[in-house]
Amino acid sequence: MSKQLKQLGDDIWKNQVEKINSELFTLTYGSVVAQLCKDLDNNYDQVNNELYKMGYNIGVRLIDEFLQKTQLSRCTNMHETAEVVSKIGFKIFLNITPTVSHWTADNKSFGLILVENPLADFVELPNTEARKKLWYSNVLCGVLKGCLEMVQLDCDVSFLQDSLKGDENTEIRVKLNKILKDEIPAGEE
Amino acid sequence: MSYYFAILGTNDAPVYELEIGTYRQSGNGVPHLPNELQELEQFILNSSLDILQDNQFKDTGLFSKNLDSFYGYKILSYLTQGNGKFLIMTDLKNHDESIRQFFIEIHELYVRNLLNPFYEINQPIRSADFDTRVRALAKRYL
Amino acid sequence: MSTPSNSKLMLTGAGYNPVIGPGSTADSTNSLPKQTASQRSVSQLSSPSSLLRLASTSSERKLNSFGAHASIYDRNLHRGMHEISLSSMSFLFMEVIRMSLNGSESLLQMERKLNNLGYRVGLRLLELVSLRENFNNNLASSGKSNTAQRHVRVLEILQFVKESIWPCMFGKEADNLEKSVQNENQYMIIDSDPILSRYICVPKEYEGLDCESFVAGIVEGLLDISYFRCEVTAHSAPLEGYPNRTVYLVDFDSSIISREERLSKK
């Protein structure tokens, strides 16, 4: 299963995706985060929120492109969802493949370990409160939240650790709360 | 035998400074800049900057090994496209090539520092990591 | 040895002092901690591991054995062009526009915000791309580095924008570079199909908003820190088959044009 998904992700990336050098993306995101910190007076909780909202807005629209490109039907369980997110979602949008790990015993919560993170290239957090409080790449959590919600999965998505803060890994946690009532998700026919 | 090294921003204000002794000729890296000279550092910087500005649109190179001299100390300079300015004042002779290579490596560090979204241009460079790297380069080249 | 007082280190407005544009927040009261060699020996004793770390980072390395993020100072700036999907960039750009909309009372104010965000990107991109251009291989090895050049003339720097900055940002050169016939201060960089606008639809109520102000800000930022003081604005100029065609109008400060004339005489 996992192998097939990886193949699918790689094929889509190779054949269906218009690509661009990540540097403009990285610098633009950096400019956005720095501007938010300035606008919000370095209130990092608020900055985290804004980044999350920004991501959510992206996620609810990005899912259309995802479904259209992958033609995937609904996942049967969270393990499959996790693999799809990592090997296809992250692959075709950011060209990275986070490692799925640290499942909880109830199979409802997993971690995504980002070995590479194009958002955070060039970034060193200042040695201030930012290092404790700011989740620099929080936009990613918002994107996942938005996408998953659009396919009926109500999840909590948040960073557990970030190597920018000196943590050992960069890890996003995804926890399923409940499966939403059946509606036809946007973009799926 | 010592070096005074400064990085100046686009507005000509110093963003990083270091006094360091040579590691050559069995030097131990401790600087021996005479007090008078230390007090004049800013004055010397200013007058060297004047020369740099006079030349910077005529000479298109990055490195200048004879920008100025001052009581046996010579001033070498390096200018990036974005007007980051690196200056060295030293009483060491015949180390121009090493100093040039030092500058080139500093250029890389300077750009990496600038790329950090939390670094605002022309602000003092406070990263401890940056400082450690500069000292390591000084040890290797100066 | 004693650390000289910080006040001594403040340098004020000597010589050429271009106004760095709106993105700058230079706080001139900031003092600069002076580094001395004696501090070194202290830090050396207190953290021998940091030196060990240094020794091991000389080779190219992005990740340490734990997969953690390596220092930004280890990052190789010359290789490793990572590609992402253009959609991701477009989605981000849409949020940038939304963010600029927030609290803006006029299109002009919003375009200014976009311009500011771009400005910060431009000055970084300039140093990155020109570093690469000058030292596209091993830095310290001499050879190439002797030929390193700065762009000091108006046409040179504009060509650099067209032929080096554009490819780094958009994977293609800008289509044209023209000098205005009416105004000797003005030049135009033209992109027939700007890729950031390709997937962006501006809502009806904001008709007339030029999202390419962001790119104009990038160009302004990079020209400003190269000491080519100017204002750059984006203008939609559609042609048949190229609905998004955009002209980036570079309006140089008159001091730049007089400098250019002086340089031409020699």
Q: How far is CA B24 from CA A140, B28, C1, C42, in A?
A: 50, 8, 21, 21
Both tokens assigned to B26: 């069995």
Confidence of residue C146 (pLDDT cuts 50, 70, 90): low
Read off the pLDDT of each residue in C2-10 and give the average, rounded to a whole number.
Answer: 34
Residue-level pLDDT at B60: 86
**What's A56's domain CATH number?**
3.30.1380.20
Give me the number of domains chain A comprises: 1
Highest CATH level, class, for C86-265? alpha beta
Residue-level pLDDT at B72: 83
Residue-level pLDDT at B42: 80
Q: Residues of C with CB below 8 A from B29's CB?
A: 37, 40
Kindly state whether A40 is in contact with chain C, defined as any CB-CB distance less than 8 angstroms.
Answer: no
Q: Give C172-189 pLDDT, tens digit per residue.
A: 999 999 999 999 999 999
DSSP track, A93-139: HHS--PEEE---TTS-EEEEE-S--GGGTT----TTHHHHH--TTTH
Residue-level pLDDT at B69: 83
Total-model pTM: 0.85
Q: Which residue in chain A is spatially nearest to B112 when comparing CA positions?
A: A122
Q: Which residue in chain B is spatially nearest to C225 when comparing CA positions?
A: B82
Q: Which residue in chain B is spatially nearest to A130 when comparing CA positions?
A: B118
Longest dimension (CA), chain A: 50
Q: Give C20-59 pLDDT, tens digit per residue.
A: 333 333 333 344 555 544 443 333 333 333 333 333 333 3
H helix intervals, chain B: 35-55, 96-115, 128-141
Higher pLDDT, residue C100 or C142: C100
CB contact under 8 A, B111 and C54: no
Q: Which residue in chain B is spatially nearest to C143 when comparing CA positions?
A: B101
Residue C69, pLDDT above cutoff 80: no
Secondary structure (3-state) at B13: coil
Residue-level pLDDT at B1: 79
Helix (H) or strand (E) holding A59: helix A44-70
Residue B129 near residue A124 (C-beta atoms within 8 A): yes
Picking from A13, A4, A182, the residue whose alpha carbon sits closest to that of residue A95 is A13
Burial class of B62 by CB neighbour count within 10 A (0 to 12, 13 to 18, 19+)? buried
Residue-level pLDDT at C63: 39
Q: Residues of A with CB below 8 A from B110's CB?
A: none
pLDDT block averages, 10 residues each, chain B of length 142? 91 92 78 77 84 87 85 90 94 87 94 95 93 93 88
Domain that holds residue A28: 2-179
Residue-level pLDDT at C140: 47
Q: Chain A to chain B, count of Cβ pairs less than 8 Å apart?
A: 26
Kindly state whether B80 is in contact with chain A, defined as any CB-CB distance less than 8 angstroms.
Answer: no
**Domain residues of chain C, as ranges?**
86-265
How much is the mean pLDDT over chain C? 75
Residue-level pLDDT at C60: 34
Q: Residues of B with CB below 8 A from A127's CB?
A: 126, 128
DSSP track, chain C: -PPPPGGGG-----S------TT----TT---PPEEHHHHHHHHHH-HHHHHHHHHTSS--SB-TT-PBPPGGG--SSS---EEEHHHHHHHHHHHHHHHHTT--SHHHHHHHHHHHHHHHHHHHHHHHHHHHH--S-SSSTGGGGG-----SHHHHHHHIIIIIHHHHHSS--SEEEE-SS-TTEEEEEESS-HHHHT----GGGTT--TTHHHHHHHHHHHHHTT--EEEEEEE--BTTBTT-EEEEEEE-HHHHHHHHHHHH-
Q: Which of B112, B115, B118 to mutate to test the interface with A (most CBs of A within 10 A)?
A: B118
C67 min Cα distance to partner chain B (Å): 19
Residue-level pLDDT at B29: 78
Residue C64 near residue A168 (C-beta atoms within 8 A): no
Q: How far apart are CA B86 and CA B76, in angstroms?
A: 8
Q: Which residues of chain A have pLDDT under 70?
A: 182-189
Highest CATH level, class, for B2-141? alpha beta
Q: What are phi and psi of A59, to 5 degrees?
A: -55, -45
Q: Say if the ipTM goes beyond 0.90.
A: yes
Residue-level pLDDT at C40: 37
Q: How far is CA C130 from CA A132, A171, B108, B128, C215, in A?
A: 35, 35, 11, 26, 18
Residue C159, pLDDT above cutoff 90: yes
Phi-psi region of B15 (alpha: psi -120 to 50; beta: other; left: phi over 0): alpha
> Residue C169 CA to chain centroid, in angstroms?
11
Place of tokens 């990613």: A140
Does the residue A186 lie in any domain?
no
Residue C45, amino acid? L
Residue C218, pLDDT above cutoff 50: yes
Residue A167 near residue A125 (C-beta atoms within 8 A): no
Does the residue A187 lie in any domain?
no
Q: Residues of C with CB below 8 A from A170's CB?
A: 69
When mean pLDDT is compared over B93-107, C139-153, C202-216, C223-237, the highest value belongs to: C223-237
Kindly state whether C140 is in contact with chain B, defined as any CB-CB distance less than 8 angstroms.
Answer: yes
